[in-house]
Structure 1
Amino acid sequence: MSTAALSTLASARGTGGFTGALSDLFWRRPRFLLFLLLLPPLLWLGIIYLGSLFALLLQSFFSIDEFSGLIDRTFTLRTYAQLFQPANYDIILRTVVMAMLVTLASVAVAFPIAYYAARYAKGAAKAFFYVAVTLPLWSSYLVKIYAWKLILAKEGILTWGLGKLGLLPLLDAWLSLPMVGGNSLSLSATGTFIVFVYVWLPFMILPIQAAIERVPPSLMEASADLGADAGQAFRTVLLPLALPGVIAGSIFTFSLTLGDYIIPQIIGTSRLFIGQAVYAQQGTAGNVPLAAAFTVVPVVIMGIYLWAARRMGAFDAL
């Protein structure tokens, strides 16, 4: 553009009054425009999200007066000490173990599916893969859980199918085990585990599939040319390069399992998880400090997990 045209444009911009001056300001200072565009979401993040987290953390340093039942706003670590009582510690341990098992099972189920989609699915097959993986996310969360409750019930289709196959004695033997069993699959820790894996599985498949697609097939071919069998190529080439996707998926499955309270409330035994403990302490018992202390536990666990993953270099290829 010529100098005359630029001067004409500048004079036209200058004659637009306040709107023209504002447009001229944004044109001359693009970073100021970017700041104004980012200001609303930053305020929302800083005030609503981080502010609520800070208020929650502050509540956890208070305690409940044993006589009046009112909140004593004197700073103390007594509420955190209650987390190590046997009943509360058992809730934390149960939740963390369940989250770990759900994450490991999700990786085991998701990796073959993601590998097939990344390496072999083309065209319409890949489109069908994305629809099939994301389709459960389109339906209501509660509808899916109640559907699984019917499936896992003693009169449900799963028990009926196992009966037709003659596997009911095996199911009864499994449900008789103390930690994983119950009256039926819908009233057992096993049922809770199955539903957790089903609900969070899409959050594991998609990151792994994206990570595998970034691994050049020539690397696998080169490892085979160098004498590596399929197992060695998977352990030394594919898995390390796909680890960022596994870590990304595990962040979803692990953290969502830690905080969920609806699935254990509908499917499972009467043993509480962290989410149920928070709901019970804040709603029924009115012990807001202890509920806040319980909610800090998943935050601390995920912080340690992300720090360890970063130290291992799992985020380098993200």
Structure 2
Amino acid sequence: MTAATITSPPANPAILPARGGILSSLSDLFWRRPKFLLLLMLLPPLLWLGIVYLGALLALLLQSFFSIDEFSGMINREFTLKTYSELLLPSNIDIILRTVTMAALVTVASAVIAFPIAYYAARYARGKWKALFYLGVMLPLWSSYLVKVYAWKLILAKEGILGWLLEKLHLTWLLDAWLSLPIVGGNSLSVSFTGTFIVFVYVWLPFMILPIQAALERVPVSLTEASGDLGASPGQTFRHVVFPLALPGIVAGSIFTFSLTLGDYIIPQIIGTSRLFIGQAVYAHQGTAGNIPLAAAFTVVPIVIMGFYLWAAKRMGAFDAL
């Protein structure tokens, strides 16, 4: 074999020839610096969050440090704590306590109702039944918020289907006795504290069911079986095994129910009495009263409450169940 017949080895196919152009240069830059690519991808949402959301909150916070001139009704743009001192008036304290009480009651009731539903879905529902469970939980969220609220107003009205059902069961006296109670009663359920509570629980219940169900699915069945093998009763197994492990899911669901109840003003406006909640107070002071600083100060209240609530929820591991 002569030297002329000897061929050179083929070039390495893994090494591609260099390509020109701006796109190729950018591709090489992103490949060498993946953190730079991540920064470019996160920059638009971060700018949106920082400018629109956090900027609006900052502007709101600044407004709360202004005050209203008592003679002209104009905003006095000088730093003062006068507006926050107005929150300590008995009427405003009553609004804050009423809203926090309602949010706490709605959260507890939602957890009590949601837990057995979520437990059944996590432990026993399989196949098409599991799909039916998710459909049943999510379906109310697909309908209009206002449609649901007005539907409940018709249901809870004195001439509504609930009153008709109680009349057929000869239990009208029980409803009248409940409506005669102070604070929780009224002319009918549709204009009472009780009616507001019922609608709040119905609307926010899916937000409690799903986190609890996700937390219960993480509980190994072997733990409950081991608890039974060691002689624990079903109640002891629930208290010492199932409930502690499901607690982060309950707290995660309570973040939604508690915060959404704190800030909502539509449900108390349609289903409820003349006693205001925080959302209604913000709407009234910003709109009809024109007291924007006091409206901003009222808005800061749920922000502060939820700040402490989220801090406590994080310590309990609630974010792992979201």
Give the TM-score, by structure 1 length.
Answer: 0.96
User: Take 1:53 and 1:123, find their aligned partners in 2: how far apart are those partners?
Assistant: 45
* Structure 1 residue identity aligned to 2:179: L
> Among residues 213, 221, 230, which one is paired with 2:217 in the alignment?
213
Corresponding residue of 1:299:
303
Which residue of 174, 177, 188 corresponds with 2:178? 174
**1:60 equivalent in alignment to 2:64:** yes
Q: How much does 1:5 deviate?
A: 3.2
Which range moves more in the overlay, 95-104 or 74-83? 74-83
Residue among 236, 242, 247 paired with 1:238: 242
Post-superposition offset of 1:308: 2.2
Q: How many residues align?
A: 313
SS at match of 2:300: helix
Which residue of 1 is the match for residue 187 of structure 2? 183
Residue of structure 2 aligned with 1:7, choices 9, 15, 18: 15
Give per-residue Cα distances to partners, 1:121-160, cap 9 Å, x unaligned: 0000000000000000000000000000000000000010
In the TM superposition, 1:125-136 aligns within 5 A as 125-136=129-140
Q: Does 1:72 align with 2:76?
A: yes
Structure 1's unaligned 5+ residue stretches are none
Deviations 1:74-127 (A, max 9, x none): 111111111110111100000000000000000000000000000000000000
> Hey, what's the Cα distance between the residues in 2 that align with 1:169 and 1:3?
95
Aligned residue among 147, 151, 161 for 2:151: 147
- The whole-number CA distance in structure 2 between the counterparts of 1:230 and 1:159 is 39
Q: Deviations over 1:236-292 (max 9, x none)?
A: 111110111101100000000000000000001011000000000001111010000
Q: Alignment identity in percent?
A: 77
Structure 2: which 5+ residue stretches go unaligned? 1-9
Choose the corresponding residue for 1:93, options 84, 90, 97. Answer: 97
Please tell me whether the aligned partners of residues 252 and 313 of structure 2 are also in contact (alpha carbons under 8 angstroms): no
The counterpart of 2:275, out of the listed 259, 271, 278, is: 271
**Cα distance in 2, alignment partners of residues 220 and 102 from structure 1:** 30
- In structure 1, the residue matched to 2:34 is 30
8 Å CA contact retained: 2:211, 2:321: no
Runs of 4+ in 1 over 6 A off after TM superposition: none
**Aligned to 1:229, which of 233, 237, 258?**
233
Q: Distance in 2 between matches of 1:214 and 1:237?
A: 12
Q: For the residues of structure 2 that align with 1:124 and 1:284, how far apart are their CA atoms?
A: 52
**Shift in Å, 1:27:** 1.8
Counterpart position of 1:120? 124
Of 77-86 and 306-315, deviating more is 306-315
Match of 2:259 in 1: 255
Matched letter for residue 230 of structure 1: P
- 3-state SS in 2 of match to 1:122: coil
Distance 1:5 1:27 in 2: 20
TM-score (norm 2): 0.94
CA distance in structure 2 between the aligned counterparts of 1:194 and 1:226, rounded to whole angstroms: 41
Q: Work out whether residues 214 and 321 of structure 2, in 8 Å CA contact, stay in contact via their aligned partners in 1.
A: no
Give distance in 2, aligned partners of 1:194 and 1:125.
27
Could you tell me whether the CA contact under 8 Å between 2:96 and 2:278 is conserved in 1?
A: yes
2:45 match: secondary structure: helix
RMSD: 1.4
**Deviation for aligned residue 1:7:** 3.2
Question: How far did residue 168 of structure 1 move?
Answer: 0.6
CA distance in 2, matches of 1:74, 1:272: 29
SS at match of 2:15: helix
